[in-house]
Structure formats: C-alpha cells, structure tokens
Amino acid sequence: EIIPATVTTFGSFAFNGCVKITEISLGANVTRVEQMAFDNMTATIHCPTQAIADMITNSNSSSTSAQPTLIVG
C-alpha cells in the first residue's frame, strides 16, 4: 500500500490489527502518528525519515502486541 504524500497524520489505531497489509510506503509529509496507529500488525513500513520511524515506534511503545518492521530510507 502506498500512502499518498498528502497524508500528514495517522489517527489512533488507524491500522491497528490490519494483518492482511504486508507493506506500506509512507510519504515524507507525515508530521503526526497517534497512539497505536500501527500496533498489532506485522507489515513492513517504509519510512522516508528516521523521525517518522521514531513517531511510529513511540506511538506503539506501551504495546506488547506484534509490531511492524520499519525500514528507513
């Protein structure tokens, strides 16, 4: 799944539990990732910057569920 570059925010639980998604590519305009937006999924998420990858990691920090694989670059 390629997320359009116009998307800047992922709300709480946006992709939580979406087990059928295997890969997501994010645009560089992401400025906010809310609580557990990508929690409980095992997709590979391509992040254009380390800052975006950190937002995803921080949003899922209290979770013990499955986590996505983050690739920066």
Q: Are 24 and 4 in contact (CB under 8 A)?
A: no
Query: What does the pLDDT read at residue 62?
Result: 83
Query: What does the pLDDT read at residue 63?
Result: 83
Contacts of 21 (CB under 8 A, 6+ apart): 1, 15, 41, 43
Task: Give, for all 73 residues of the chain, the pLDDT tens digit.
Answer: 689 989 999 999 999 999 999 999 999 999 999 999 999 999 999 999 999 999 999 998 888 889 999 999 9
How far is Cα 56 from Cα 61, in angstroms, rounded to an integer? 9
DSSP single-letter state for residue 45: E
